[in-house]
Amino acid sequence: MKNVSLELKKGEIFGVIGYSGAGKSTLIRCINLLERPTSGRVVWNGVDLSTLSPRQLRETRRKIGMIFQGFHLLKTATVYENMAIPLKLSGVPKEKIRERVEKYLAVVGLEDKRDDYPGQLSGGQKQRVAIARALAHEPEVLLCDEATSALDPETTDAILELLLKINEEFGITMLLITHEMNVIQKVCDRVAVMEKGQIVESGPVLQIFTSPAHETTRRFVNSLFQIALPRSLSRRDDSGRLVTLFVPSSVGETFWTQISRRFDVLPRLLSGGILHLKGQTLGRWVVHFTGEEEEVNKALLFLQDQGVRIEGVMLHAERNRQIS
Amino acid sequence: MQTFQMVGISLFFSVIIGLPMGVLLVMTRPGRIGSNPFLYQTLNLIINTIRSIPFIILLFFILPFTKWVVGTTIGVKGVIVPLVVYTAPYIARLMEQALFEVDRGVIEAYEAMGIRTRDIIWHVMIREARPSIVLGLTIATIGLIGATAMAGLVGGGGLGDLAYRFGHLRYEAEVMYVTVLLLILLVQGLQVLGNRLADRLKKDS
């Protein structure tokens, strides 16, 4: 990694996305010092983690939970034991252990599986156990290392819902690393994009989705939209303009109908989709405007004033990979 | 009977020495928690050296050492020392194999939870390797029985001695056959026991 600086705000869900080898795993492991940065500091609540004694570091680690792509449960222990053993080894008193195990098993919805072995559980269930195991220590932060990468889409969704619920109910700050954009879309407040060991872009999710600046970011954002514009459409009209509109939910609902009323243009919606981000929506429409250049420009300026972001569209096969 | 005595005591000491060696062999590897290249190479060297010497030669080779440790070179006591010297490295290798297979991710997860290394060794590594450890010990015990029979030749008594004195010296072949039969039954029984125990510990499904 080179020159990576991150700041996590309490209670937020921060995502880090990047392709394989971008350095995300290294980054997340530096946070609880599973890997030590060669230079720089990891500061948590004002404490520089590298200055801690081994014992202090262990105590701190109990407040920073972590879940993994491979779940990493003890195969020879039941679900209950998988949760109880780490608690016992952390010095939690016996009476409390039962309490905590029952409580957090209920949070993840697996109370009836407490005597099962991991070998009898599905991937999603195993990850729930791993989450419960981490939660039982009552951490303030939860690190998620590609937590859903080994799960099918439906199960991924269920786990993400669970993480959202945990974040809301317990106020646990979360850092997720992933290579799947829909994870960022569904749960994150802010996101950083990594490539070759560096953070190439970061910011609030809505901003990154509407105005991706870096090439890699755009590729990720585009992967969410299936913009398969058929060739026939793109070759049809050389007059008028073909643009992509990004419409956040903050823009009112009537702006579309106002266009043809106010300006002498004929807008045609060719393709579009609406993304549901955490707490807000983002529409992405490919529109063709027929009309005189001046009128079209006026219409586009109006849209921009309303808060819509506009991009011109390249009219050939490259379209699906890059919009600029 | 003397054989059980010899096997039992030797096994006990071999495990006491061999298991920690096995743990060290895994922990001191490069990339692991207790990485220590010097210790790792040294251990490897010692173990490989001892393992390259056939037992029967080892027996005689370390006679002076045996005498120094237990004061005699014959009888049960005299045979335990070479048996332990022979079996402990064997067990170390078997334990190393068993522990090595434990998923490193689980170890990392426990590290991330702030668990002490020594607890990780016992509660994660040794626990998860339980089935393989049992199978390994079964193999080691069977090997030990064989070595013990050989030791019988050196006056250690036991089945080997029996087979030699009656079977070979006195040409009472029936004695030898019975001895071999007993040995076969013993080994079979042990292996089955070991397999069953390992299966019960596995809990994979």
Report the domain count for chain B: 1
3 state DSSP class of B205:
coil
pLDDT, residue B160, reads 56
CA distance, residue A226 to nearest chain B CA (Å): 36
Q: Under 8 Å CB-to-CB from A279, ≥6 apart: which residues?
A: none
Rounded-to-integer distance, Cα B200 and Cα A183, Å: 40
Q: Do the domain assignments include residue A92?
A: yes
Q: Per CB distance under 8 Å, which residues of B are interface residues toward A? A: 103, 105-106, 108-116, 119, 123-124, 127-128, 130-131, 201-205
Q: Do the domain assignments include residue A226?
A: no
Closest residue by Cα to residue A131 from A169, A185, A95:
A169
CA distance, residue A193 to nearest chain B CA (Å): 25
Cβ pair B114:A77 closer than 8 A: no
Q: In this structure, are A194 and A244 located in the same domain?
A: no
| CATH number of residue A195's parent domain | 3.40.50.300
The answer to whether residues A220 and A213 touch, using CB atoms and an 8 Å cutoff, is no
**Domain range spanning residue A65?**
13-221
Mutate to test the interface with A, among B113, B118, B127, B132 (most CBs of A within 10 A): B113
Q: Do the domain assignments include residue A98?
A: yes
Residue where a domain stops, chosen among A167, A189, A221: A221
The answer to whether residues B166 and A112 touch, using CB atoms and an 8 Å cutoff, is no
Q: In this structure, are A217 and A235 located in the same domain?
A: no
Cβ pair B113:A90 closer than 8 A: yes
Q: Do the domain assignments include residue A6?
A: no
Cβ pair B112:A76 closer than 8 A: no
Rounded-to-integer distance, Cα B166 and Cα B157, Å: 12
Sheet of strand A173-178: strand arrangement: A64-68, A141-145, A173-178, A13-18, A190-195, A198-204
SS3 labels along chain A: CCCCCCCCCCCCEEEEEECCCCCHHHHHHHHCCCCCCCCCCCEECCEEHHHCCHHHHHHHHCCEEEEECCCCCCCCCCHHHHHHHHHHHCCCCHHHHHHHHHHHHHHHCCHHHCCCCHHHCCHHHHHHHHHHHHHCCCCCEEEEECCCCCCCHHHHHHHHHHHHHHHHHHCCEEEEEECCHHHHHHHCCEEEEEECCEEEEEEEHHHHHHCCCCHHHHHHHHCCCCCCCCHHHHHHCCCCEEEEEEEECCCCCCHHHHHHHHCCEEEEEEEEEEEEECCEEEEEEEEEEEECHHHHHHHHHHHHHHCCEEEECCCCHHHHCCCC
Rounded-to-integer distance, Cα A55 and Cα A66, Å: 19
Distance linking the first and last C-alpha atoms of chain A: 29
Q: In this structure, are A42 and A160 located in the same domain?
A: yes
Find, in chain A, the residue whose alpha carbon is nearest to that of B110: A86
Strand duo A13-18 + A190-195: pairing: parallel
Q: In this structure, are A39 and A98 located in the same domain?
A: yes
Give tens-digit pLDDT for B93-134.
999 999 988 988 999 999 999 999 889 999 999 999 999 999
CA distance, residue B29 to nearest chain A CA (Å): 17
Closest residue by Cα to residue B3 from B160, B165, B194:
B160
Rg (CA), chain A: 24
The token pair at A192 is 């950083």
Q: For the packed helices A94-108 and A153-170, what is the interaxial angle rounded to 10 degrees? A: 130
Nearest to A58 among B108, B114, B128 (CB): B114
Give tens-digit pLDDT for A250-265.
777 677 788 888 888 8
Closest residue by Cα to residue A160 from A138, A176, A179:
A176
Element (H, E) at B187: helix B173-202
Cβ pair B113:A66 closer than 8 A: yes
Task: Tell the residue number behind the tokens 């090997």, with chain if given.
Answer: B143
The token pair at B50 is 């001892």
Give tens-digit pLDDT for B25-82.
988 888 777 788 899 999 999 999 998 888 888 887 887 887 788 777 667 777 888 8
Residue where a domain stops, chosen among A221, A251, A268: A221
Q: In this structure, are A106 and A249 located in the same domain?
A: no
CA distance, residue B132 to nearest chain A CA (Å): 12
Specify the length of chain B in residues.
Answer: 205
Q: In this structure, are A59 and A204 located in the same domain?
A: yes
| CATH number of residue A277's parent domain | 3.30.70.260
Rounded-to-integer distance, Cα A172 and Cα A192, Å: 19
Rounded-to-integer distance, Cα A121 and Cα B10, Å: 42
Q: Do the domain assignments include residue A1?
A: no
Q: In this structure, are A195 and A235 located in the same domain?
A: no
Task: Please indicate whether residue B169 or residue B187 has the higher confidence score (pLDDT).
Answer: B187
Q: For residue A300, give the amino acid letter.
A: L
Q: Per CB distance under 8 Å, which residues of A are interface residues toward B? A: 32, 34, 57-62, 64-66, 68, 70, 72-77, 85-86, 89-90, 117, 119-120, 130, 133-134, 137, 143
Confirm whether pTM is higher than 0.90: no
Residues in chain A closer than 8 A to B116 (CB atoms): 58, 89
The token pair at A16 is 């880090």
Q: For every one of its 324 residues, what pLDDT tens digit does chain A have, with 9 covering 90 and above?
A: 888 888 888 999 999 999 988 888 999 999 988 888 888 888 888 888 888 898 999 999 999 999 999 999 999 999 999 999 999 999 899 999 999 999 999 999 999 999 999 999 999 999 999 999 999 999 999 999 999 999 999 999 999 999 999 999 999 999 999 999 889 999 999 999 999 889 999 999 988 888 888 888 888 887 877 655 666 665 555 567 778 888 888 777 677 788 888 888 888 888 888 888 887 888 888 888 888 888 888 888 888 888 888 877 543 333 344 443
Q: In this structure, are A76 and A159 located in the same domain?
A: yes
Cβ pair B103:A70 closer than 8 A: yes
Report the domain count for chain A: 2
Residues in chain B closer than 8 A to A62 (CB atoms): 113-114
Cβ pair A34:B108 closer than 8 A: yes
The answer on pLDDT for B167 being more than 60 is no
Cβ pair B112:A73 closer than 8 A: no
| CATH number of residue B142's parent domain | 1.10.3720.10
Q: For residue A201, give the amino acid letter.
A: E
Q: Do the domain assignments include residue A8?
A: no
Q: Do the domain assignments include residue A104?
A: yes
B61 CB-contact burial (10 Å; exposed 0-12 / middle 13-18 / buried 19+): middle
Residues in chain B closer than 8 A to A34 (CB atoms): 108, 111-112
Residues in chain A closer than 8 A to B119 (CB atoms): 89
Q: In this structure, are A238 and A310 located in the same domain?
A: yes
**Domain range spanning residue B168?**
2-202
Nearest to A74 among B115, B124, B202 (CB): B124
CA distance, residue B82 to nearest chain A CA (Å): 36
The token pair at A32 is 């609880």
Find, in chain B, the residue whose alpha carbon is nearest to that of A30: B112
Rounded-to-integer distance, Cα B9 and Cα A8, Å: 59
Q: In this structure, are A131 and A274 located in the same domain?
A: no
Q: Do the domain assignments include residue A63?
A: yes
Q: In this structure, are A213 and A261 located in the same domain?
A: no
Q: For residue A289, give the amino acid letter.
A: F
ipTM over 0.90: no
Residue where a domain stops, chosen among A175, A195, A221: A221
Rounded-to-integer distance, Cα B87 and Cα B50, Å: 10
Residues in chain B closer than 8 A to A143 (CB atoms): 112
CA distance, residue B128 to nearest chain A CA (Å): 6
The answer on pLDDT for B181 being more than 50 is yes
Residues in chain B closer than 8 A to A76 (CB atoms): 127-128, 130-131, 201-203
Region of A269 (left: φ > 0; alpha: ψ -120 to 50; beta: rest) is beta
- A30 strand-pairing partners: none
CA distance, residue B86 to nearest chain A CA (Å): 31
Q: In this structure, are A44 and A165 located in the same domain?
A: yes
